[in-house]
Amino acid sequence: MLNTVLERITREKIIAVIRTENADQAVKTVQAVIEGGICIFEISFTIPDAQDVIRELMKEKNILVGAGTVLTLREARSAIGLGCHFVASPVGNLELVPVCRDGNVACILGASTPSEIYTAMRGGANMVKVFPVDALGGPDYVDEILKPLPFLKVIPAGVKSYDSFKEYLSLGVEAIALGSLLIPKKHVDSQNYEAITREAKKFASLRDDLLSKAA
């Protein structure tokens, strides 16, 4: 399963990061994003009852569900016990690596600097979230890192604009994690799930167009 998950992340390129105020909003947001053509989800453990959200979403077919903002071994084991496909952390906690390996799930650690990214990869992370990427320097920052270190498997996270999104895709990153840019809080608060679907369609279309031109 692990290789299949990693291949799908690399192929579909977009991870929708779900961070809402309650579980009901999270499930409805995921459904809206699926309607827009994006099918990989990171469910933040900052959501109250996030485990219930993951449990519910694991019933869905043809989507990948990961646990996000995982900081501790206990959280990682809990997520893996629910059957999630990957565990993602905003920090470089290498203690999560053997837990994910034993559970046969993908491990995505967080990092900011080239040394941190390299250390996470050397420590066994399957991919590394570069976070908060736009605040660090955006596409130029990632480009400068990948020039001497093209073997690093990075996922920009903290993307703030459509233009940045397109530039990251052109750099050949493994995937891009999209939170508030894809899912504006105002749409969640107002329960405007149709607007969220429209945003998802926009990003899915941008992805498909750029990847087809690159092929």
- Distance, in Å, from the CA atom of 100 to the CA atom of 87, rounded to the nearest integer, reads 7
Residues 6+ apart with CB under 8 A from 133: 141, 142, 156, 157, 158, 159, 168
Do residues 177 and 23 make contact, with C-beta atoms less than 8 angstroms apart?
A: no
The domain over range 2-214 is classified in CATH as 3.40.50.20: no
Name the one residue in this structure whose structure tokens are 């990061």: 17
**pLDDT by position in tens, the chain (length 215):** 899 999 999 999 999 999 999 999 999 999 999 999 999 999 999 999 999 999 999 999 999 999 999 999 999 999 999 999 999 999 999 999 999 999 999 999 999 999 999 999 999 999 999 999 999 999 999 999 999 999 999 999 999 999 999 999 999 999 999 999 999 999 999 999 999 999 999 999 999 998 888 76
Residue in 68, 18, 70, 69 with CA at minimum distance from that of residue 39: 18
Q: What are the extents of the domains in the chain?
A: 2-214
Name the one residue in this structure whose structure tokens are 């093209």: 150
Do residues 64 and 39 make contact, with C-beta atoms less than 8 angstroms apart?
A: yes
Whole-model pTM over 0.95: yes
In terms of phi and psi (left: phi > 0; alpha: psi -120 to 50; beta: otherwise), the region of 7 is alpha
